[in-house]
Amino acid sequence: MLSSAVEPWERADEDEVCSNNFNGFVTGGSSNSFSRDPDYPKANLQSSQVSRCPIEDGVVHTSRWGTVSPGTVLAAIAAALEPQQVQISLLLNEPVQTNDTDKLEKFERYRQMTLLAQLHNTWAATLAGDLAEVAVYQGPRLKGDLYLGPGGTWNDTKIPRVHYMDQRNGGFWQMTDAEARGGIDGLILSGAVQSWKEQLSRLRLSQLLEMYYSDRGVNFDTQYRACERQARLAEIRETSDLLLIQTINFARVLSYKSPEAVQISDEKLEEFSSKALQAYNSHLSSLLSALHCNDPLPFPRVHLDVILDGTWTTYEAMQVLAYLAQEADVSYYGSSMAVMNGEDATWILRETHNASDLFSLRNNTENSSDVTWPRSLNLKLSLATFSSYLAERLAEQRRRNVIGGPSHVILVLGYTATISDRDHRESVQIISRFKQQNPDVRFVFLASNINHLRFKELSTIDPSYPDVTIALPDSKVETVVTKIIEIITTIPGRITGGYCDGSSTETRRNGFEGYVTAGFPLTYRIHPLYLEHSGDVTLTFQGSGHGNLRACVSRDRGSTGTDCSEVKNLEEMALKISSPCANYAYQCPPVYLTITVTNTLTRCTEDDCRYPDQVRFLLHQEGLRCTRNPYSADSDTDVAPRSNSDLTLHVILQTVSLVLISKLIARF
């Protein structure tokens, strides 16, 4: 990924991937769409002919900011952190062959040049270096009619694995569009990275790149983001004379040292360098077109467990999952994701925080019989398997006194699924039992306009925290993923009671750690079952020295609330909720806790910091109702005694009703 390379030769797949390649992204029509796979046998080159769409390696796909060469960006940042300016005469060796009069003449001329003939490593690593290649290698061959580019397109926007280049330039790709964007971005970042490094000594490269290639921008100066590269470049272009000088000096060194360079006079080198810069300025409009900035949006942060039905072909299913992982922010700092075959309840993908694991699904599918893809949906089997797996995971967390964090979401992709009465009835029982032990887990059922009512009945098992059914008119990737993200982004995190030690409420101070990003509050929910029959509940916050926070409690979803307290720097603060269910005769509502950054010192440097301006907190709770360990030998698996649990009563009534209805239907 750090080096740029082109695979130019014919591959025998051009008729398929090149024919409509530059009218938009290749979409393919085959249901077995592995034909889009770039892993062609590289040894089976058909001839020495150049392909109509050569493959460009060492580039990355960004969602809205064009294809970029990351090696160029990294080289610029490295150069900026160790700036060097060297006379070109120090980079040249005297020719060994004394009869090469042209080279001897150049050597003497360059050696006698003044301090103006210097190379700056940042310019050489970015635009000047690539423009010098254009001048040296294209100038003599194209007689000054120089070309920048080409651009290209990806095999697939959802699973981008290969970048096909346009071949209209006749095989000259000294400065591709991806390299040009990388040079621009690298030059922009190189001008500020040293200052940022002084402000935060442990600024990580991953933080810098993620902030720049996002809508939020670099927190030290939010004008530094890829969507504003045109404005930042305009500031740099005021030094266009310096770019020309650096291009000429690098071209001199390259022409002198490269065995592939055509030896020309220094005057011609200057002329071709000037024409390369002119070609670059003319090409900028296409490089910077279609750039626009959006307001930054919050990322979902959930443990997303997916049950997949047979709606999509294997490749289409991988598109759905890959796009879902991208939009759900599956990453070390964001969401996790697991995928189950909804037909036989086997794992397609075990839980991961790495979205790139989804790109290995294709290899796993072809090379292993262990990975199978569904053709239908066995809902009760999948729910039973997932419920057992997830219940054990949650139980282990609570045994370790981890009582808060992202919510768990079980996403059932059942767009074309049909559910029998028996399957439906047993699914109700499985979900009911599971929610008695883990009431914070959310189920999201994705269905069509035809079968959504069947899933709708499953989403109302817990009336205090109903699940979600999504009915969609089609199963297109964008339609499906956009709606799912819209739902799961609004799901708050969870705070629960721990396991009991002989009493019904928590006496120990169980807690967890969290990080809040400036401008993006965190919201947590405490389920009513942890509030019922409890006395006073105390939430204690410990600051970390990263800045100040405000913590607010509300009983209404969507409302921040007015019962707020400040957590300043390293101070400790307690929020007290007195008798949380005393004033509610029928049903005790949940508690919503919203944590907001009011001031950041931009000093979050530990490994768990996603951004430098995050603020860390420790939260402990006392007084929440505890639950008995459902995996101990003598435990009752209910969260509350049956006589006092609205959820349990509702489940019993609904299950009995479904049994009676099914018997009546059977009689007719």
* 294 pLDDT tier (thresholds 50, 70, 90): very high
Label residue 217 left, alpha or beta by phi (over 0 means left) and psi (-120 to 50 means alpha): left
Looking at every residue in the chain, the average pLDDT score rounds to 85
Point out the least confidently predicted range of 37-46, 225-234, 531-540: 37-46
β-pairing, 347-352 vs 493-495, is unpaired
Is residue 632 over pLDDT 50? yes
Is residue 653 over pLDDT 50? no
Cα-based torsion angle of the residue sequence 472, 476, 480, 482 in order, rounded to the nearest 10 degrees: -110
What is the predicted pLDDT for the residue at 593?
96
Q: Which ranges constitute the DSSP H helices of 334-378?
A: 361-367
Cα-based torsion angle of the residue sequence 382, 384, 388, 390 in order, rounded to the nearest 10 degrees: 50
What is the predicted pLDDT for the residue at 626?
83
What CA–CA distance (Å, rounded) separates 421 from 403?
A: 37
Point out the least confidently predicted range of 232-241, 287-296, 369-378, 418-427: 232-241
Tell me 420's DSSP state: -
Q: Coil, strand or helix: which one is 627?
A: strand
Between CA 97 and CA 103, with CA 98 as vertex, the angle to 5 degrees is: 80
Q: How many residues does the chain have?
A: 668
**589 preceded by a cis bond (ω within 30 of 0):** no
Which residues neighbour 360 within 8 Å (Cβ) at sequence distance 6 or greater? none
Tokens of 130: 């690539």
Q: Which of 161, 65, 72 is nearest to 356 (CA)?
A: 161
Q: Is 665 exposed, middle or buried (0-12, 13-18, 19+ CB in 10 A)?
A: exposed
| Contact (Cβ atoms closer than 8 angstroms) between residue 250 and residue 332 | no
Q: Is 569 exposed, middle or buried (0-12, 13-18, 19+ CB in 10 A)?
A: middle
Tokens of 278: 């002119």
Is residue 521 over pLDDT 90? yes
What CA–CA distance (Å, rounded) separates 419 from 254?
A: 69
- What is the per-residue pLDDT across 248-293, written as a single tens digit (0 to 9) for each? 999 999 999 998 999 888 999 999 999 999 999 999 989 998 889 9
What CA–CA distance (Å, rounded) separates 492 from 508?
A: 24
Q: Of 83-97, 189-203, 554-568, which has the strongest mean pLDDT? A: 189-203
Helix axes 266-287, 177-190, angle to 10 degrees: 90
Q: Distance of CA 455 to CAs 14, 365, 577, Å?
A: 45, 30, 36
Q: Which residue has the higher pLDDT, 19 or 49?
A: 49
Strand runs labelled E in 309-406: 336-341, 347-352, 404-405
- What is the per-residue pLDDT across 478-512, written as a single tens digit (0 to 9) for each? 999 999 999 999 999 999 887 776 555 554 567 88
Strand runs labelled E in 255-300: none
Q: Which residue has the higher pLDDT, 507 or 472?
A: 472
Which residues neighbour 568 within 8 Å (Cβ) at sequence distance 6 or greater? 543, 548
What is the predicted pLDDT for the residue at 252?
93
Is residue 640 over pLDDT 50? no
Which residues neighbour 156 within 8 Å (Cβ) at sequence distance 6 or greater? 25, 26, 27, 36, 319
Is residue 635 over pLDDT 50? no
Residue with tokens 């797949």: 13
What is the predicted pLDDT for the residue at 70?
97
Q: Which ranges constitute the DSSP H helices of 344-498?
A: 361-367, 379-399, 421-437, 452-458, 477-488
What is the residue extent of each domain of the chain? 5-287, 302-491, 510-622
Tell me 542's DSSP state: E
* 397 pLDDT tier (thresholds 50, 70, 90): confident
Quick one: fold of 510-622? Jelly Rolls (2.60.120)
| Contact (Cβ atoms closer than 8 angstroms) between residue 321 and residue 373 | no
| Contact (Cβ atoms closer than 8 angstroms) between residue 328 and residue 302 | yes
Average pLDDT value for residue range 352-380: 81
Same fold yes or no, 302-491 and 510-622: no
Label residue 244 left, alpha or beta by phi (over 0 means left) and psi (-120 to 50 means alpha): alpha
| Contact (Cβ atoms closer than 8 angstroms) between residue 130 and residue 251 | no
Q: Which residue has the higher pLDDT, 222 or 98?
A: 222
Is residue 207 over pLDDT 50? yes
Point out the least confidently predicted range of 182-191, 231-240, 484-493, 562-571: 231-240
Point out the least confidently predicted range of 113-117, 300-304, 434-438: 113-117
End-to-end CA distance of the chain: 66
CATH, range 302-491: 3.40.50.410
Point out the least confidently predicted range of 50-59, 153-162, 658-667: 658-667
Is residue 458 over pLDDT 80? yes
Is residue 643 over pLDDT 80? no
Instruction: Calculate what percentage of the chain has a pLDDT beyond 70.
Output: 85
Count Cα neighbours of 310 within 13 Å in the Cβ-side half-sphere.
13
Q: Which residue has the higher pLDDT, 285 or 657?
A: 285
For residue 37, the tally of other CB atoms under 10 A from its CB is 17
Q: Which long-range contacts (CB under 8 A, 24 or more apart) does 215-218 make?
A: 215/293, 215/294, 215/295, 215/296, 215/297, 216/296, 216/519, 216/611, 218/192
